[in-house]
Chains A and B, each alone.
Chain A
Amino acid sequence: MKNKIITKSIKSILCVALFGAMFTGCEKDFLNVQPTDRVSNASILNDQTLFEAYVINRYLGVKLTNKEGDSNQPGFGRTFEWAMWSSLTDESIYNNDDNTWLIQQGQLSPENLGIAGTLWGRSYRGIREVNYALNNIGKVPMSDSRKSLLTAELKFIRAFRYQDLIRNYGKVVLLGDKVSELGNDFSDPSLFDRRPIDECMTYVVNQLDEAATGLPTANSSDYGEGRATKGAALALKSRLLLYAASPLYNNDVSDTQKWAKAAAAAKAVMDLGIYSLYTGGYANLFTTAGSNSEYIFARFYNVSARHLPLEIANGPNGYSAWGGNLPLQNLVDDYEMADGTPFSWSNPTEASAPYDNRDPRFAATVIYNGLLYRGRNAEYFLPGGKDSSDGKDNWNTSKTGYNLRKFMRDDLPIDNPWDVGGQQNWIHFRYGEILLNYAEAQNEAVGPDASVYSAIHLIRARAGMPDFPAGLTKEQMRDRVRHERRIELAFEEHRFYDVRRWKIASVTENKPAQGIIVRKQTGGSFTYELKNAIPGRSFQNQHYWLPIPRSEIQASNNKLEQNPGY
Chain B
Amino acid sequence: MNITTFSKTKILLQGKMLIFLCLSLAWSPIHAGEKTISTTKIDFLKLKIKGRVTSSKDRLPLPGATVTVKGTAIAALTDMDGNFEIAADSGDVLVFTSIGFKTKELLLNDQTKIAISLEEDSTSLEEVVVVGYGTKKKATLTGSVSELAGKEIVKSPQVNISNALAGRVSGVIANNRSGEPGYDDSSISIRGLATTGNNDVLVVVDGIPGQIGGLSRLSPQEIESITVLKDASAAIYGSRAANGVILVTTKKGKKNSKLNVSYNNDEGFASPTRLPNMAVAPTYATIRNEIAYYNNNAGGSNQIYTADQINKFRNGSDPINYPNTNWVKEGLKNMSTVSQHNLNIQGGSESTNYFVSLGKVAQEGLYVNGATKYSQYNVRTNIDSNINERLKVGVSLSGRKEDRQYPTTGAGDIFRSLYRAFPTSPGIYPNGLPSTGIENNNPLIQATDAGGLNTNPTYVFNGIARGSYDFGFLKGLSLDGFFSADISDSFSRSFYKPYTLYTYNSTSTNYDPTIVGGGPDQQAKLTEEQFNQSMLVSNIKLNYKHKFGEHSLEAFVAYEQSESKTHKFGASRIHFPTTETPELSQGGAAATDYNNWGSSYRFTRQSYFSRVAYNFQEKYLLDLQLRIDGSSNFPVGKQFGKFPSISAAYRISKEEWFKDNVSFFDDLKLRASWGQLGNDNTAQFQFYDNYTFNNRYVIGNTVTTGIDVVKLANAGITWEVATKLDLGINARFLKNFTTELIYFQQDRTHILTNRNASIPGTTGIVNPYGGDSLVPAENIGEVKSNGIEASLGYDHKGEEFSWGVSGNITYAKNKIVFIDEAPGVLDYQKQTGNPLNTYLLYNAIGIYKTQADLDKYPHVTGATLGDLIYEDHNGDGKITADDQVRSKYGNIPQIVFGLLADASYKNFDLSVVFSGQTQVSQYVLPESGTIGNYDSSWADNRWSPSNVNGSYPKVSERASSAVSGGLYKNNFWLKDASFIRLKNIQLGYTLPSDILKKTGISNFRIYLSGSNLFTLTKVKDYDPEGTSESGQFYPQLKIFNVGFNIQF
Contact = CB atoms under 8 A, between A and B. Distances in A.
A271 interface: no
A102 B967 contact: yes
Given A96-B958, A531-B296, A180 B698 contact: no
A97 B958 contact: yes
B536 interface: yes
A237 interface: no
B769 A53 contact: no
A395 B931 contact: yes
Interface string A109-149: 11110000000111011111101100000000000000000
A225 B700 contact: yes
A225 B630 contact: no
A532 interface: yes
Given A19-B21, A110-B881, A2 B2 contact: yes
Contact of B708 (A35, A57, A110, A420): A57
A303 B592 contact: yes
Interface residues of B, number: 128
Contact of A125 (B6, B714, B764, B967): B764
B510 interface: no
Interface in A195-238: 219, 224-227
B507 interface: yes
Interface string B402-435: 0000000000000000000010000000000000
Interface stretch (B12-20, B93-101, B728-736): B12-20
B689 A41 contact: yes
A320 B440 contact: yes
B712 A64 contact: no
Most A Cβ at <10 Å: residue of B516, B600, B690: B690
B412 to A, nearest CB: 15
B647 interface: no
Interface string A322-339: 100000000000000000
A2 B498 CA distance: 76
B334 interface: no
Interface stretch (B139-147, B610-618, B818-826): B818-826
Main secondary structure of the interface of A (DSSP, over half): loop
A309 to B, nearest CB: 10
Interface in A523-562: 531-536, 538, 549-558, 560
Main secondary structure of the interface of B (DSSP, over half): mixed
Given A13-B9, A64-B769, A557-B824, A300 B957 contact: no
A32 B707 contact: no
B700 A219 contact: yes
A59 B697 CA distance: 8
B487 interface: no
A44 B691 contact: yes
Interface in B487-512: 498, 503, 506-507
Contacts of A553: 824
Nearest to A26: B561
B183 interface: no
Interface in B823-866: 823-825, 860-862
Contact of B17 (A16, A39, A224, A393): A16
Interface string A362-406: 000000000000000000000010000100111110010000000
Contacts of B362: none
A507 interface: no
Contacts of A14: 540, 559
A416 B599 CA distance: 29
Contacts, number: 351
A31 B691 contact: no
Contacts of B563: 24, 30
Contacts of A16: 10, 13-14, 17
Nearest to A173: B762
B483 A63 contact: no
B601 interface: yes
Interface stretch (B173-181, B191-199, B518-526, B649-657): B518-526
Nearest to B306: A383
Contacts of B707: 39, 44, 50, 53-54, 56-57
B696 A73 contact: yes
Given A13-B10, A18-B540, A121 B766 contact: yes
Contact of A555 (B685, B775, B823, B968): B823
Nearest to A515: B296
A33 B684 contact: yes
B9 to A, nearest CB: 7
A302 B17 contact: no
Interface residues of A, number: 127
B762 A124 contact: yes
Contacts of B967: 102, 107, 112
Most B Cβ at <10 Å: residue of A44, A57, A173: A57
Most A Cβ at <10 Å: residue of B519, B525, B574, B763: B763
Contacts of A62: 766, 768, 774
Nearest to B710: A38
Nearest to A395: B930
B307 interface: no
A522 interface: no
A479 interface: no
Contact of B881 (A17, A39, A550): A550
Interface stretch (A184-192, A244-252, A253-261, A349-357): A184-192
Interface stretch (A4-12, A457-465, A498-506): A4-12
A409 B1043 CA distance: 62
A417 B632 contact: no
B436 A320 contact: yes
B762 A64 contact: no
B762 A60 contact: no
Contacts of A31: 604-606, 630-632, 636, 639
A192 B760 contact: yes
B947 interface: no
B304 interface: yes
Contacts of A96: 931, 957-958
B517 interface: yes
A54 B706 contact: yes
A101 B967 CA distance: 10
Contacts of A410: none
Most A Cβ at <10 Å: residue of B21, B525, B605, B696: B696
Interface stretch (B49-57, B751-759, B888-896): B751-759
A278 interface: no
A346 interface: no
A416 B699 contact: no
A510 to B, nearest CB: 13
A395 B439 CA distance: 9
Interface string B318-362: 000000000000000000000000000000000000000000000
Interface string B681-723: 0001100111111111111111111111111111000000000
A555 B860 CA distance: 25
Contacts of B592: 303-304
B437 to A, nearest CB: 9
B602 A33 contact: yes
Contacts of A9: 6-7, 9-10
A182 B765 contact: yes
Contact of A43 (B10, B479, B519, B691): B691
B538 interface: yes
Most A Cβ at <10 Å: residue of B483, B711, B760: B760
Contacts of A342: none
A407 B758 CA distance: 41
Given A180-B764, A557-B824, A35 B685 contact: yes
Interface of B: 2-3, 6-7, 9-10, 13-14, 17-18, 21, 288, 294-299, 303-304, 422, 436, 438-440, 465, 479, 481, 483, 498, 503, 506-507, 514-522, 525, 536, 538, 540, 559, 561, 563, 574, 592, 599-606, 630-632, 636, 639, 684-685, 688-714, 755, 757-766, 768-771, 774-776, 778, 822-825, 860-862, 880-881, 930-931, 957-958, 961, 967-968
**6 nearest A-B pairs in the assembled complex, by CB-CB distance:** A128-B764, A224-B700, A57-B706, A111-B881, A554-B822, A180-B763
